[in-house]
Amino acid sequence: MAGIETAEDSQTRGRGGRSSNAGNATDKALNLLEAAVAPGYPHRLGEVAAAAGVPKASAHRILNSLVSTSFLASDGSGGYGPGPRLRALAARVTQGCEEDQVMRAELEVLNRRVGNTVHLGVRTGDAATCLIKVASPKPVQTSSRVGMQLALHATSIGKCILSSLSDDELTDLMQRVGLSARTEHTITDLDALRTELARVREQGFALDEEENEIGVHCIGAPVRDAKGTVIGGVSISAITYLESRETLLGWTDLVRATADSLHGLLG
């Protein structure tokens, strides 16, 4: 594998080939992030550390932090590449990578089939982020946008993500972020949320019945990475007075099939 060179290498090399400001914690993290997603990823620890000019021990700690916050993803064998949170940021300014084009194409097919807004969201820390939106052709639109953060307990995509957590992980997360009421229909009790998530696991899809936004209901299905871990979801959002709950449920197989088609494309 060819060595990695960051954009900063040609401008700010210090002694020993390292960036002159590599001692700064922010610079270290950014240099490591840039090196990890250089063409040809996944890249291994030693390769990333050398390219960023950061000692291996420090690089390992920082890279683990970037993985835990979803900016990077690990392939399970010591390789690093872009994570879902970084892809979410990239989606706000470009659609340049092949995987993004494939994912958008799948969502556009679903959008045409159901005639309503389709979203792809990924977990980013203690929330989810809208990565791709394909808007409904109808004149009445949802208020969602690419880059918007989604409450995990109040959205169908969020429930898909939460349904994959252990009870301890769920409890810890909800203690951190709380169960705030987005609308009068939001689940704000942890035991009630546990019951809802058990239903999601059993059915393979999640509903948002005006829990995040009055007048909007959604159906979502989980999206998994290459290792089978749920990292996000695909959802169909519809205006309640235009589409009935029965219509929403009639899209179950379509949304699940679309989510399955994205398996492994997000890391």
State pLDDT tens for residues 148-186.
889 999 999 999 999 999 999 999 999 999 999 999 999
Residue 157: what pLDDT? 98
Q: Are the C-beta atoms of 52 and 6 separated by less than 8 Å?
A: yes
Residue 39: what pLDDT? 84
CATH code 1.10.10.10 for 15-82: yes
Q: What does the domain layout of the chain look like in residue ranges?
A: 15-82, 96-261
User: Can you tell me the mean pLDDT for 196-205?
Assistant: 97
Residue 75: what pLDDT? 83
The domain covering 96-261 belongs, at the CATH homologous superfamily level, to GAF domain (3.30.450.40)
Distance, CA of 23 to CA of 131 (rounded, Å): 33
Dihedrals φ, ψ of 201, to 5°? -60, -40
Residue 140: what pLDDT? 86
State pLDDT tens for residues 37-80.
988 889 999 999 999 999 999 999 999 999 999 899 988 788 99
